[in-house]
A and B are shown apart, each in its own frame.
Chain A
Amino acid sequence: MKNNQKNRHVYWNPYFGGFLLGILILFTFYITGRGLGASGAMKSSVVTIVDTVAPTHAENNTYYSRFINEEKSPMNTWLVFEALGVLIGAFLSGGLTGRIGWRTQHSPKITPKRRLAFALGGGILFGLGAQIARGCTSGAALSGMAVLSTGGFITMLAIFGSAFAFAYFFRKNWI
């Protein structure tokens, strides 16, 4: 085996990572009574941006107006602080193992441009889907499953089922 035929990065054993993540979810529920989340912070950011750029438009929109409060900024929510923590934590982990650097990761078969175009499209779809399902893989699926939420299990099955179903069409991007 050639030297470059090795994965550059050594990650944790997945069962160890999963165990710690499970303990963290448990701890989060124990302290706050709710689970983790990730897409919520991005929704708050969008609401804040729209509210700053076009305040009247944001107030007239049925969806934005739900998250706009006279007293506090939409950024002053639990999920936004948690997302800031995620950035710090990932930066620490990446920094300790030397994984930090500007790069675009893609399969050798595709160009970086194609990768970025698909990343943008995938992001748009995920953002849209996460609003429709009221949560993403963290908030709906993972945290929902911890308390046996029916919706959490359905969302988890739908995400992975559809990703497996569509995987064939995008295989060139990954393998």
Chain B
Amino acid sequence: MGPLIPNGVIPAEWDSIIAILIGIVFGFVLESSGFSSSRKLAGVFYGYDFAVLKVFFTAALVSLIGMYYMDYLGYVDINQMYVHPTYLWGAIIGGVIMGLGFVTGGFCPGTSLCAVAIGKIDAIVYVVGIMIGVFIFSELFVLFQPLYEGSFLGNITLEDSLGVNPYWFVFIFTIIAIVSFVISDMIRKRNKKIFY
């Protein structure tokens, strides 16, 4: 039963090799979906290209639905999965800063790596920027520490915090995503086409 490495089905020595293989597929899919182009990525914020919205929500839904199916069928135990911890204000303020960085820089870290791989100079500069950002954070860690470690709510899921049934949540989330896909297509048709 999954997850395979933590449960010893696959020996832990394979960890790094599997990491590279997973990374290769990740990079291939992102690049082939056009995520190595900052102007395509930024399109979602100006309504001329909704690839980010479509790829992102489709991926989230497929993994979410798949996860609950595999849990239901007994292939994985969803409670053994690593749940990204919730530090309320860290998540909000960090997210707002990242959003500003996204719309100014045109990449997020994963997509910038893809763009670096195909030789985009703006992406190389962006990655240098990320490293400077990490450096600033680490050097001024004392300042950020209360935000970084404060308002810790645990490794909670929406099931805990909203009290919703996860199956219903996934269903409603799917409907929201489909509606947003339809609306995004309508918006894109109304907007001037941008070529890049």
Contacts and interface: CB of A to CB of B under 8 A. Distances in A.
Contacts of B139: 61
B58 to A, nearest CB: 3
A136 B95 CA distance: 8
Interface in A1-59: 4-7, 9, 11-12, 14-15, 17-36, 38-39, 41-43, 45-47, 49-50
A150 B157 contact: yes
A17 B22 contact: no
B153 to A, nearest CB: 7
A122 B129 contact: yes
A155 B94 contact: yes
Interface string B78-122: 101111111110111111111111111111111011111111111
B31 A93 contact: yes
A122 B106 contact: yes
A85 B91 contact: no
B61 interface: yes
Contacts of A74: none
A122 B62 contact: no
Contact residues of B: prevailing secondary structure: helix
A105 B115 CA distance: 10
Nearest to B6: A33
Interface residues of A, number: 127
B58 A167 contact: no
Given A133-B94, A137-B109, A148-B64, A14 B5 contact: no
Given A123-B125, A123-B126, A163-B102, A30 B137 contact: no
Interface in A111-152: 115-116, 118-140, 142-152
A47 B19 CA distance: 20
Given A26-B62, A103-B119, A146-B64, A132 B23 contact: no
A9 B117 CA distance: 16
Contacts of A159: 95-96, 98-99, 102, 108
B125 A119 contact: yes
A85 B26 contact: yes
A86 B64 contact: no
A143 B159 CA distance: 16
Interface of A: 4-7, 9, 11-12, 14-15, 17-36, 38-39, 41-43, 45-47, 49-50, 61-64, 76, 78-79, 81-95, 97, 99-107, 115-116, 118-140, 142-167, 170-171, 173-175
Q: Which 3 A-B pairs have the closest CB atoms?
A: A122-B105, A85-B23, A123-B129
28 contacts: A12-B34, A18-B57, A18-B58, A21-B55, A22-B61, A28-B22, A29-B2, A38-B109, A39-B109, A50-B135, A61-B139, A89-B31, A91-B117, A94-B117, A102-B121, A105-B122, A119-B106, A123-B107, A124-B130, A127-B135, A129-B93, A129-B96, A137-B98, A137-B108, A161-B95, A167-B45, A171-B46, A174-B46
